[in-house]
Amino acid sequence: MFLTNDTWWYGTREGDRGPFKSRKEAQDALAQFIRDVRGDIELNELSLLDKTESQSDSVWDSRPDVVR
């Protein structure tokens, strides 16, 4: 987080975010950004798990030598 020309900003890999009127406003926005990113990561992890499970199930089911 940084102050420029009396406005607050925070930086991410995607670029700087702002301006915010106060440090508190910038901190709150940064906290929300982090929650959003973590949520995206969790959703992607769940999506990968679903794909992996469904792919392994379909491969497993197609093996004729497997006794069920």
Residue 15 falls within a domain, yes or no?
Answer: yes
Residues above pLDDT 70, as percent of the chain: 71
Tell me what pLDDT residue 16 has: 97
From its phi and psi, is residue 32 left (phi > 0), alpha (psi between -120 and 50) or beta?
alpha
**Mean pLDDT in the chain?**
80
Tell me which residue range forms the domain holding 47.
Answer: 2-60
- How confident is the model over 10-41, as pLDDT tens digits? 999 989 999 999 999 999 999 999 999 998 88
The C-alpha angle with vertex 17 and arms to 16 and 19, in degrees rounded to 5, equals 115
Tell me what pLDDT residue 43 has: 77
Tell me what pLDDT residue 45 has: 75
pLDDT exceeds cutoff 80 at 54: no
Residue 20 falls within a domain, yes or no?
Answer: yes
Say how many domains are in the chain: 1
